[in-house]
């Protein structure tokens, strides 16, 4: 049995993938990160990186990679 807590992104990744545009996806990601219990420096880095995403695909890819990284998986 795996007792490791799941990433907040794991639960919310579907919402990011169903967002209608880049701004909506960024808003969801930013809201999740800001409300998380991540260390301040990690939050700052994630928020900086998401601010540089210019397309919906980039936001979705970054959110997926963040989720994978947190869960100990490789990134794409």
pLDDT at 65 exceeding the cut of 50: yes
Round to whole Å and give the CA distance between 55 and 72.
26
How confident is the model at residue 59, as a pLDDT?
97
Tell me the average pLDDT across 60-72. Answer: 83
- Confidence at 66, pLDDT banded by 50, 70, 90: confident
CA distance 73 to 55: 24
**Residue range 10-61, pLDDT digits in tens:** 668 889 999 999 999 999 999 999 998 889 999 999 999 999 999 999 999 9
- 53 Rama class: left (phi>0) / alpha (psi -120 to 50) / beta: beta
State the pLDDT at residue 62: 94
């Amino acid at each position: 049995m795996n007792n490791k807590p799941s990433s907040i992104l794991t639960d919310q990744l579907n919402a990011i993938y169903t967002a209608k545009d880049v701004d909506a996806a960024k808003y969801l990601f930013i809201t999740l990160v800001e409300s998380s219990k991540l260390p301040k420096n990690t939050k700052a880095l994630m928020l900086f990186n998401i601010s540089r995403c210019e397309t919906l695909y980039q936001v979705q890819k970054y959110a997926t990679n963040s989720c994978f990284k947190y869960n100990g998986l490789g990134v794409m």
